[in-house]
Every structure is written in structure tokens, then in C-alpha cells.
Amino acid sequence: MTHATNGSYAIAAQGLVRHFGPVKAVDGVDLHVRKGEIFGFLGPNGAGKTTVIRMLVTLLAPTAGTITVAGYDAVRQPHEVRLRIGAALQAAALDNKQTGRELLRLQGKLYGLSRKQADRRIADLTDLVDIGEAMDRLIGTYSGGMKRRLDLAAALVHSPQVLFLDEPTSGLDPISRARIWEEVRGINRELGVTIFLTTQYLEEADALTDRVGIINHGTLVAQGTPTDLKHALGSDLIIARLEGDAAIAAEALKGIAAIEGVEAHGQELTVSVANGAALISAVALALNQHGIVVRELTLRTPTLDDVFLQVTGARLQDGAGTQQQAPSKSPASGS
């Protein structure tokens, strides 16, 4: 007889490890996602992000560690987990010769719903994911955004407790992306579904998620609310794009006492300060006095991309595949 594990977490992974031969794809990840929250999972290419997701949805067994999803052990009770999760992964398995309604009825049948139960559920989902009259059209006539929304509906037809979304807006235009954002918020708010979201758009994670985790080289290097992670970098950031090595330029700023921190990444210098407007001139003057050529100097508040750069050494929009100089510190993790 199977039994659920009590607790406040929809997902709990402890000491999660996955090896592929000599390669440590995931190396000791501790991950806790609270019931009812939207959790963003970010990482550079090859950091172990996809491997973690595949373990959480029972498609891949861990080498070591424990995983509990929706109260069940994902290794010992994978069937119980699968009944309670939905997954809309990047490669949507949609048959272009079916209508949207036919696909959702089939999905409901696979999960043991009667025709009546499936039709009732489809009626509820039609409005929630904004499919409308297209429900009775062939899927082959759908736009990319419409296919994503249908895939969302298919993942929700059996009323899962936890929904995994792997880059749900990748490749969509800004209008379609915004509609998916609203639908994700609606699913979380109206159905109370816990959502585990991966995305390549940091503004998406900032707008949608309650907390984020960043994985790099197989380990979780930052975890917390977007606001807390950004505040850990300082109130303001002065960004200097230079000619030459930023690590050398950082030495020029040591005499400015009000600077809270300096990070050098390639030809970019990130200066953390409490009052950027008061210090940007002093930073520019110090760099100039040391003969450092500044191509661009900007002042702004921290973003998630700045957090990502600090803990991984690369910006996500640059592909994050080539690691630059490793940062000297990282934001404090939170649970």
C-alpha cells in the first residue's frame, strides 16, 4: 500500500546526484518547492537543469539522493507521482490530424477519466487557457502560441497537484508570451497548482515566480525570491564596459570607500553601491585617471540577469554556454 509523505513541500530533493559515466551532471542538489508557489529554475546550457527536471518527473533515476513529489517518493513510487503531476515539455507531442478536443479527451482517458468527466474538465480548461472555438479545429491549423496553450491544457486535464513547464514561451512572439504568462498565473491562482518553471527569459522568471533557483556545474548556486537575490547585489549597480581586462580595471576603484563590491567578468565591470547617482562620476574619474578606456557606463538597479552573471560567470541572453571569469562571491541562498 502506497502512502503520501506529509509536509509543506510539493517538491523536495535532498542530496540529488546523477552521473553519466565519469560526468557529474548533477552533484548534490538540495531543492525545496513549497505547495502552491511558482518556482523558477534557471541555469546555463549544460548546467544540469534538464537532468534535474527529468529526475523530478520520473523519466530518469538519480544516482544518489532522494526525491519527493506531491508527497510520494519519485524513485519507489513513480506511478503515484505521475498520477499527480502534469508536464508541458519543450517537445509537445501533438497530433496535427486531431482536433484539440480529441487530444484532450484522449489525454483524459489515459488518466482514467470517463467521457463525461473529461468533457467537463475540457469545458473548464477551454476558458482558462484561452483556446475557445479552436478546440474543434485540427491542431495542424494552430499557431505556435495556440499549440503551447493546448499542451498546457493537456498537462492539466487530470487535475495535477504539480505542473512542470519547460520553457513554455520559447520561440513565441511577445504577445503570445504575455498571454502564456497570464495563463500560468491563472492556473496557479485559480487551481492552486504548484508550478515548476524553467525559462530562458529572466524577465519571465522575475515577473512570474515566487522564488527562483539557479543551477551551475550541477550544483544549486543561488536560491531565493527574485527581490532578495537582487537586493543581495546592492541598491544600485554601475556597469562599465571597457576596452581590456575588467579585472585589471577593478584595481583602479579600490580607493573609493563607498563602493560595496566590484565584480569583473571579461570586459565588463559591475560596481555595487548604495547611491549610484552620487558615485558614478567618481567611478568614471578613477577609471580615466588609470588610463582605462570606458566604452559605456550605465547606472541601474540590479536585475536577475545580474544575479545570474554573478553566480554563473555568464549572462543568460549570451547563451551562458561559455563560462567567463568565475565570480568571487554569490548572493546568500534562501529557502
Residue extents of the structural domains in the chain:
9-225, 234-301
- The contacts of residue 177 (CB under 8 Å, 6+ apart) are 169, 201, 204
CATH class entry, domain 9-225: alpha beta
pLDDT in the model for residue 59: 94
pLDDT in the model for residue 91: 63
Q: Which of 55, 52, 132, 63 is nearest to 100 (CA)?
A: 132
pLDDT in tens, 229-271: 998 887 899 999 999 888 888 888 988 988 988 988 889 999 9
| Adjacency order of strands within the sheet including 236-242 | 259-265, 268-273, 236-242, 294-300
Q: Rounded to whole angstroms, what are the CA distances from 68 to 74, 80, 236?
A: 6, 11, 39
- The contacts of residue 129 (CB under 8 Å, 6+ apart) are 149, 150, 152, 153, 156, 183, 187
Amino acid identity, position 262: V
- In terms of C-beta density within 10 A (0-12 exposed, 13-18 middle, 19 or more buried), how is residue 299 classed? middle
Q: Rounded to whole angstroms, what are the CA distances from 31 to 40, 58, 60, 213?
A: 12, 16, 17, 8
C-alpha grid cell, residue 322: 561559455
Q: Which of 97, 98, 90, 94 is nearest to 53 (CA)?
A: 90
pTM above 0.95, yes or no: no
Backbone torsions φ then ψ of 267, nearest 5 degrees = -105, 20
Instruction: Report, as ranges of residue numbers, the positions in the chain whose pLDDT lies below 70.
Output: 1-6, 91-92, 317-335
Residue with cell 519547460: 166
pLDDT in tens, 52-106: 999 999 999 999 999 999 999 999 999 999 999 999 887 667 889 999 999 999 9
Query: Can you give the length of the chain in residues?
Result: 335
pLDDT in the model for residue 5: 52
Angle between helices 144-156 and 115-128 (to 10 degrees): 130
CATH number assigned to the domain covering 234-301: 3.30.70.100
Backbone torsions φ then ψ of 41, nearest 5 degrees = -120, 115
C-alpha grid cell, residue 78: 513513480
Same fold across 9-225 and 234-301:
no
Q: Rounded to whole angstroms, what are the CA distances from 75 to 13, 15, 78, 180, 245?
A: 11, 14, 6, 32, 48
Q: Which helix (H) or strand (E) segment is 214 a member of?
A: strand 211-216
pLDDT in the model for residue 128: 79
pLDDT in the model for residue 335: 36
Q: Where are the alpha helices (DSSP H) in the chain?
A: 49-56, 78-84, 100-110, 115-128, 144-156, 174-191, 202-208, 226-231, 246-250, 276-289, 304-312
